[in-house]
Amino acid sequence: MTDSFLQLERLTKRFGAHAAVSDLTLSVARGSVLALLGPSGSGKTTTLRLLAGFDRPDAGSIAVDGRDVTALAPAERRFGMVFQHYALFPHLTVAENVAYGLAGRGSVEDRARRVAEMLALVDLQGFGERQVSALSGGQQQRIAVARALAPEPRVLLLDEPLSNLDPSLRERTRRELRAALARVGMTTVFVTHEQEEAFALGDRVAVLNEGRLEQVGTPPELYDRPRTLFVATFVGRASVLRAKMSGTSAARLDAGAEWPVETPVQLGDGTLATVVVRPEAVSFAAAGLAGTVTGCRYTGARAYFTVAVGAGDAAADVEVEAPVRAARVGDAVHLAADHALAFPAEQT
Amino acid sequence: MIRQPRGLLLAFVLVWIVVYPVLLVVVDSVHGPGGFTLEYMAAFAREPQEWSALWGSLWISVASVALAGLIGVPLGFVFERLDFPGRRVLGALVALPAVLPPLVGVIAFLFLYGESGFVARAIMQVFGLEEAPWRLRGAGAILLVHAYSMYVYFYLFTRAGLVKVDASMVEAAHSLGSGTWATLRRVTLPLLRPQLAAAALLTFMTALGSFSAPYIFGGGFRVMTTQIVASKLNGDMRMAIVETAALAAVALAGLFLLRRQGGARSVVAVGKGTPPAARALQQPLARWGATAVGWAFAVMLLLPHVTLIVVSLVPLGTWTTQLVPPAYTLANYGTLISEPERLRPLVNSLWMASAATLGALGLALWAGRLVVQRRATLRGAIETLVSVPWAIPGTVLAIALATAFSVRAPWVGRWVLVGTAVILPLAYLVRNIPIAAGSVLAGFRQLDPSLDEAAASLGAGRVRTLRTVTVPLLRPAILAGGALAFATALGDFVTSIVLYTYETRPISIEILSSLRAFDIGSAAAYGVVLMLISAVAMVVGTRR
């Protein structure tokens, strides 16, 4: 990254013997949005708290625009934060909440203008005099964003920004959030455990697992070219099969048949491998991996079929995306794959 | 690296003013000029009087728990589960004895049920008796006062517990074929166990430390608290110290035993916690019966308060043998303000209680901040330290402070404070710590910790966060804790009698000397003022 505005360098945080974050290096370009994606316990919230300054790292550094801020208190960092439960001050009005970070800046009129500007940004003009408790969840979320943006922070941090909203509200709020962030061109880091949210909001996505960075990249990079088995299975739908390499670009599946595979990490002939394949990369064919259709989930014109393959230790389910009429439950079928990935076999 | 030096400092302050004085008393009880000695203990053990006082304290406390429970628990059930006319007003009135400072309650009982009180006079009048039909003396009188003032704990805890018992649990028991009584015995009461244990502990500790009632009504009946004060006033400090150590030991043992009762099998009720709706009494007879009993009860509860007000209007020396006082005047209140020597105790009590309350609130806020911080090092120790004074009977605390701060030895943290204006506010402060901290800590626990972080991320420093976020949000908790602490300090008698000087004498001491001078009107007037200020403080403190 040439244009790195926010730089995390070998960040490590331990709680007792447990390393919540270890050796994390990441960079975020000015004005871009980075999603921290991972299951619970992956260290993504800890990373955000380290960025905000609420926790101090045991090792490593955080720099903004080339200046080290690791030792700065949260109040001196100028990082805006939107909390998971918003943390709006319940005893203050909407306007007073938004103005909280503006204390001592400019005149009363300047501050009032800035508050109005921020309320307009999140499309809540005229809500200034309301009590916070009188707002809906979605409105509270937008006020939290407005409050964090008002003092013109250098970086905006969001902790699970949409997790407290009704599913019906999420889609819309996500679009509005995306638009607001683009309008102010704010360098942003946000945390989520939902891939869809990470892909929709993030310019780039960092996948964390057990405190370590698995991979960082754009959504298509992560989906099409996952570099680890964890990323391949955590991001998007995928079926997992045991196999042994046959040459360096094909794998002999334990369940039978041989599929061509790509290998993000070099795998020699004969090594044990785990093959990962997306539903849309598998199709019904005249010959190939033999199995039986055991289930079907319709999504309109197309359907996801579950096909049981192999037996004993080699038994597995493969998900196939195909036209609705391609097969029926109970059919004996053969499967071909045009784009499968092989990773070193998991140590079991 | 010490990450929490502030936590350390607070722990240090608390140990110094709470634990250290009590430890000094324990050490002094087995330490003479020649080093370690059991001589004082032996002197204590040889006195049959001491044993009877120890036994008296113990059985009075246990009996108080039983009596208070017998009144408070059914009352709690009635007001929480039955609906009848006047339920709301009566339900609030029933908690009234809690606002009466102990000494004021005792003198009100004296004026009402004492041998020259209203009730005795009425009976003498009706039956033409020459002498009062009874004397309000001894264990029975003490228990009467204890039952009156302490059933409130059981009443309030029972109601608080019943609110949390989920209706679906009771319904589940009924649907499994369990009858009303079986459900009560096997479902509701076990679920209430933690609350009942807490109320029992509170009652036991209060009764064990009770001083006003045995002091005024005891007569020949001995308990430890009066024994300690008598030894102290007779100048036998050494005996007072040994007696104090003995009472502290009983208090600790009681605390330990009752805590285990409540804690070992505390049940966590799952469910949404929707309490069953109060059942309206339908039968007219039951309705009117309940209402009549309720109002009769309320009148009985209010009588001491009314008595106090009536007596406060009696001019000096006018009420002799008549059934009711023949003359009434506001002069007793007038002299309270016009005579500087009568005003002084009032001013003393007000400033000392205010200082003690502010100090205790300061410590409580300090403790609260540290306790809710995610990884404060000494949080457990601090939580324990702020609740410890609660388990120390007032007399024990007073003797401990008198011992610790009557010697000048700055290198071990001892200065001569006894006889100065500092010692009483300090004593009140220590007694106020658990009251203030209980409320403030509960308030802190309800605060979302990310509010502090939100303020910090918006550039607010520690002071601004405290001023603009923490304190405004904690205001109800601070006011409630502060009001209760202020009222307690204002009415304090038990530590005052050990530590006061003529210049710093508080209201309670003045009530006592007025009583001794047979100036019952002034004594009652002070009592009414005390009662009113406490009531106002409580109203302000609990307003939402």
Q: Hey, which residues 95-134 in chain A have their CB within 8 Å of chain B? A: 100-101, 103
d(CA B518, CA B109): 16
Q: How far is B457 from chain A (nearest CA, A)?
A: 5
Contact A264, A344 (CB under 8 A): no
pLDDT the model gives residue B418? 86
Q: Which of A90, A100, A157 sits opposite B458 (nearest CB)?
A: A100
Q: Which residues of A touch B450 (CB under 8 A)?
A: 83-85, 87
Structure tokens at A104: 């001592």
Q: Cβ–Cβ of A91/B456 closer than 8 Å?
A: no
Residue B374 in this model has a pLDDT that exceeds 70? no
The pLDDT confidence band at residue B513, using thresholds 50, 70 and 90, is very high
Q: Which DSSP category does B274 fall into?
A: -
Amino acid identity of residue A70, one-letter, is T
pLDDT the model gives residue B319? 80
pLDDT the model gives residue A226? 92
pLDDT the model gives residue B390? 85
Cα R_g (chain A), whole angstroms: 24
Q: How far is B383 from chain A (nearest CA, A)?
A: 23
Residue A184 half-sphere exposure toward CB, CA atoms < 13 A: 25
Contact B403, B23 (CB under 8 A): no
ipTM of this model? 0.82
Mean pLDDT over B71-87 rounds to: 83
Q: How far is A234 from chain B (nearest CA, A)?
A: 30
Cβ within 8 Å of residue B426, ≥6 positions away: B17, B356, B401, B405, B417
Q: Which of A80, A85, A88 sits opposite B457 (nearest CB)?
A: A80
Q: Which of B450, B456, B472 sits opposite A75 (nearest CB)?
A: B456
Torsions phi, psi of A316, nearest 5?
-160, 160
Residue B1 in this model has a pLDDT that exceeds 50? no
Question: B91-124: b or e for each residue (b if 16 or more CB lie within 10 Å)?
Answer: bebbeebbbbbbbbbbbbbbbbbbbebbbbbeeb
Cβ–Cβ pairs < 8 A, chains A and B: 62
pTM of the model: 0.79
Mean pLDDT over B333-354 rounds to: 91
Q: Cβ–Cβ of A148/B458 closer than 8 Å?
A: yes
Q: Which helix (H) or strand (E) holds A149?
A: helix A137-149
Q: Which residues of B touch A103 (CB under 8 A)?
A: 459-460, 464
Structure tokens at B216: 């005024």
> Distances from the Cα of B396 to the Cαs of B199, B251, B252, B346, in angstroms?
22, 10, 12, 25
Which DSSP string corresponds to A231-298? HHHHSS--EEEEEEESSSSEEEETTS-EEEEE-SS---TT-EEEEEE-GGGEEEESSSEEEEEEEEEE
User: In a 3-state reduction of DSSP, which class is residue B317?
Assistant: coil
Lowest mean pLDDT among A75-84, A257-266, B25-34, B185-194: B185-194
Contact B62, B204 (CB under 8 A): yes
d(CA B360, CA B431): 9
Q: Which residues of B touch A151 (CB under 8 A)?
A: 458-459
Q: Cβ–Cβ of A148/B453 closer than 8 Å?
A: no
Q: Cβ–Cβ of A52/B450 closer than 8 Å?
A: no
Lowest mean pLDDT among A283-287, B160-164, B221-225, B385-389: B160-164
Average pLDDT, chain B: 85
Q: Which helix (H) or strand (E) holds B409?
A: strand B406-409
pLDDT the model gives residue A51? 94
pLDDT the model gives residue A1? 45
Torsions phi, psi of A150, nearest 5?
-55, -45
**Higher pLDDT residue, B2 or B93?**
B93
The pLDDT confidence band at residue B2, using thresholds 50, 70 and 90, is very low
Mean pLDDT over B370-389 rounds to: 79
Angle A207-A213-A218 (CA atoms, 0-180°, nearest 5)?
45
Q: Which residues of B touch A78 (CB under 8 A)?
A: 459
Torsions phi, psi of B417, nearest 5?
-110, -20
Q: Cβ–Cβ of B454/A81 closer than 8 Å?
A: yes
Q: Cβ–Cβ of B456/A54 closer than 8 Å?
A: yes
Mean pLDDT over B343-352 rounds to: 94
Angle B411-B416-B421 (CA atoms, 0-180°, nearest 5)?
135
Q: How far is A162 from chain B (nearest CA, A)?
A: 17
> Distances from the Cα of A138 to the Cαs of A97, A132, A135, B96, B247, in angstroms?
16, 12, 8, 46, 60
d(CA B148, CA A74): 54
Instruction: Tell me if chain B has a CB within 8 Å of the CB of A53.
Output: yes
d(CA A1, CA A26): 10
pLDDT the model gives residue A118? 93
Residue of B nearest to A153 (CA): B458
Closest CA to A61 of A153, A53, B413: A53
Mean pLDDT over B125-153 rounds to: 88
Interface test with B, best of A100, A149, A159, A160 (most B CBs within 10 A): A100
Q: Which of A52, A53, A87 sits opposite B448 (nearest CB)?
A: A87
Residue of B nearest to A79 (CA): B457
Segments of chain A with pLDDT less than 70: 1-2, 347-348
Instruction: Tell me if chain B has a CB within 8 Å of the CB of A14.
Output: no
d(CA B164, CA B167): 9
B225-230: list long-range contacts, CB under 8 Å, 24+ apart.
B225/B57, B225/B393, B225/B394, B225/B395, B225/B494, B226/B53, B227/B49, B227/B50, B227/B53, B228/B395, B228/B396, B228/B399, B229/B395, B229/B497, B229/B498
H-type alpha helices, B133-283: 138-164, 167-175, 180-183, 189-209, 212-217, 224-233, 237-264
Mean pLDDT over B140-169 rounds to: 86
Interface test with B, best of A50, A89, A189 (most B CBs within 10 A): A89
Q: Which of B448, B459, B469 sits opposite A101 (nearest CB)?
A: B459
Structure tokens at B427: 């004593």
pLDDT the model gives residue B62? 94
Instruction: Tell me if chain B has a CB within 8 Å of the CB of A89.
Output: yes
Q: Hey, which residues 136-155 in chain A have their CB within 8 Å of chain B? A: 147-148, 151
Q: Which residues of A touch B453 (CB under 8 A)?
A: 52, 54, 74, 81, 83, 87
Mean pLDDT over B417-436 rounds to: 92
Amino acid identity of residue A142, one-letter, is R
Which DSSP string corresponds to B488-535? HHHT--TTHHHH--TTT--HHHHHHHHHHTT-HHHHHHHHHHHHHHHH
